[in-house]
């Protein structure tokens, strides 16, 4: 029997991957006069936050209950997930990093020779545009194993306290290891989204929580209030110059690279707001074409990411030299993605039909 999916979670994952695509194409989307749309997209970004939290939620939802009965099976599945990510990452190195290293040279290899650059890529010692995202999830899925052990013993508080402690240390020392380039998404910081996701997924799986909470309007009000407060912290100096002086004096800077506690609150509030609006509007969107597209994006998020990675890297390093309208290239990305997803969806429907016939 095929395991049923959580449509709401897929919808959220679809929103996150769509946002990620917009962020990576943001430099080419400034089409409106007097509005820097690319900057707006980057300031409202919630993609990596969403992916990390949803990855944790899926672990808590799907594996916490199974972990009690079949620890070896869950550990094997998590390791398989890590291997799957490694395969995609090395595919990118072979088909993106190496060709671009020969084609554009120092624009991507920086001060390294081609072979030094490739070696560093294979060993996760450099940070190549787009390719740096996948390795972030490798240690997170491995950390999920001891986290599930602790949660099984009822040590939820210990898990959350350890995560907060690591985040606090990461705010002081975001790059604890002296080798390789500085990570764009240091695991010591971004693990906090993953852990929160696991705890939420565990709560949902155990029946003490629900994705369709009757208090969603309360969540929406809290999310709006938190976002407005953090937006004031981030942008208030434009209207209140004295706030700019206070920010600098007390170090009240919202930062995502590397993530700090104000960056966590600001971008976390955006994710909370998007999540709340999505829950509130899901019943209206789920049967629409927009809802269906985002749902498909979420179901096949890794494929969508892989396709957009090839298009985005080509657009960044190659296409501008001969393609006068990059926006058309972006539309090609979405067209190819939709065609591939439609094919994969037809295969999935065919598999379900065949399974139903066999079970009769």
Residue 103 phi/psi, 5° resolution? -80, -40
One-character DSSP codes across 20-35: HHHHHTGGG---STT-
Are the C-beta atoms of residues 145 and 78 closer than 8 Å to each other? Answer: yes
Assigned token pair, 198: 């696991």
The confidence score (pLDDT) of residue 244 equals 87
Q: Residue 359: is its pLDDT beyond 60?
A: no
Are the C-beta atoms of residues 135 and 93 closer than 8 Å to each other? Answer: no
Which of 238, 235, 240, 267 lies closest to 252 in space, CA to CA? 235
Q: Residue 356: is its pLDDT beyond 50?
A: no
Which of 163, 155, 153 lies closest to 196 in space, CA to CA? 163
Assigned token pair, 227: 């976002």
Average pLDDT over residues 161-181: 93
Query: Mean pLDDT in the chain?
Result: 89
The confidence score (pLDDT) of residue 355 equals 38
The confidence score (pLDDT) of residue 346 equals 86
- Of residues 26 and 209, the one with the higher pLDDT is 26
- Of residues 210 and 301, the one with the higher pLDDT is 301
The confidence score (pLDDT) of residue 57 equals 96
Average pLDDT over residues 287-296: 93
The confidence score (pLDDT) of residue 140 equals 98
Q: Residue 168: is its pLDDT beyond 90?
A: yes
Burial of 30 (0-12, 13-18, 19+ CB in 10 A): middle
- Of residues 231 and 207, the one with the higher pLDDT is 231
The confidence score (pLDDT) of residue 354 equals 42
CA angle 280, 286, 290 (to 5 degrees): 105
Model pLDDT for residues 186-195, shown as the tens digit of each residue: 999 999 999 9
CB atoms near residue 107 (< 10 Å): 11
The confidence score (pLDDT) of residue 350 equals 56
User: From CA 268, how far away is CA 234, in angstroms rounded?
Assistant: 13
The answer to whether the predicted template modeling score (pTM) of the entire model surpasses 0.75 is: yes
Which of 333, 19, 64, 38 lies closest to 195 in space, CA to CA? 64
CB atoms near residue 303 (< 10 Å): 16
Burial of 205 (0-12, 13-18, 19+ CB in 10 A): middle
Q: Residue 28: is its pLDDT beyond 70?
A: yes
Q: What is the dihedral of CA 219, 225, 231, 234, to 10 degrees?
A: -100
Average pLDDT over residues 348-359: 48
One-character DSSP codes across 133-156: TGGGHHHHHHHHHHHHHHHHTT-H
3-state class (DSSP) for residue 63: helix
The confidence score (pLDDT) of residue 93 equals 93
The confidence score (pLDDT) of residue 22 equals 95
3-state class (DSSP) for residue 6: coil
Q: Residue 357: is its pLDDT beyond 50?
A: no
Are the C-beta atoms of residues 93 and 122 closer than 8 Å to each other? Answer: yes
Model pLDDT for residues 78-106, shown as the tens digit of each residue: 999 999 999 999 999 999 999 999 988 89
Are the C-beta atoms of residues 263 and 254 closer than 8 Å to each other? Answer: yes
What are 256's strand-pairing partners? 259
Q: What is the dihedral of CA 5, 7, 8, 12, to 10 degrees?
A: 90
Sign, Cα dihedral of 351, 353, 355, 357: negative
The confidence score (pLDDT) of residue 351 equals 54
Q: Residue 210: is its pLDDT beyond 90?
A: no
Q: How many residues does the chain have?
A: 360
CA 124 to chain centre: 19
Q: Residue 316: is its pLDDT beyond 70?
A: yes
């Amino acid at each position: 029997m095929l395991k049923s999916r959580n449509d709401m979670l897929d919808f959220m994952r679809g929103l996150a991957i769509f946002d990620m695509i917009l962020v990576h194409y943001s430099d080419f989307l400034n089409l409106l006069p007097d509005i820097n749309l690319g900057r707006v997209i980057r300031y409202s970004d919630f993609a990596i936050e969403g992916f990390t939290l949803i990855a944790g939620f899926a672990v808590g939802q799907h594996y916490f209950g199974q972990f009690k009965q079949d620890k070896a099976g869950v550990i094997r599945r998590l390791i398989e997930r890590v291997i799957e990510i490694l395969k995609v990452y090395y595919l990118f190195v072979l088909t993106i990093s190496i060709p671009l290293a020969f084609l554009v040279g120092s624009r991507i290899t920086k001060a390294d020779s081609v072979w030094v650059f490739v070696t560093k890529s294979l060993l996760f010692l450099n940070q190549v545009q787009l390719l740096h995202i996948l390795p972030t999830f490798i240690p997170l899925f491995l950390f999920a194993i001891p986290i599930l052990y602790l949660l099984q013993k009822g040590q939820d508080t210990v898990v959350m306290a350890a995560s907060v402690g690591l985040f606090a240390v990461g705010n002081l020392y975001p790059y604890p290891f002296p080798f390789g380039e500085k990570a764009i998404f240091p695991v010591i910081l971004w693990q906090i989204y993953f852990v929160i996701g696991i705890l939420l997924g565990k709560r949902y799986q155990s029946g003490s929580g629900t994705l369709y909470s009757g208090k969603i309007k309360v969540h929406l009000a809290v999310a709006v209030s938190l976002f407005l407060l953090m937006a004031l912290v981030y942008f208030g100096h434009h209207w209140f110059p004295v706030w700019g002086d206070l920010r600098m004096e007390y170090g009240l800077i919202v930062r995502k690279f590397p993530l700090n506690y104000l960056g966590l609150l600001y971008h976390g509030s955006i994710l909370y707001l998007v999540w709340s609006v999505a829950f509130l509007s899901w019943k209206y969107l789920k049967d629409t074409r927009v809802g269906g597209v985002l749902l498909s994006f979420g179901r096949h998020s890794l494929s969508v990411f892989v396709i957009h990675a090839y298009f985005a890297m080509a657009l960044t390093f190659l296409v501008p030299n001969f393609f006068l309208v990059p926006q058309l290239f972006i539309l090609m990305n979405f067209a190819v993605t939709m065609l591939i997803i439609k094919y994969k969806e037809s295969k999935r429907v065919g598999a379900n039909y065949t399974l139903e016939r066999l079970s009769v």
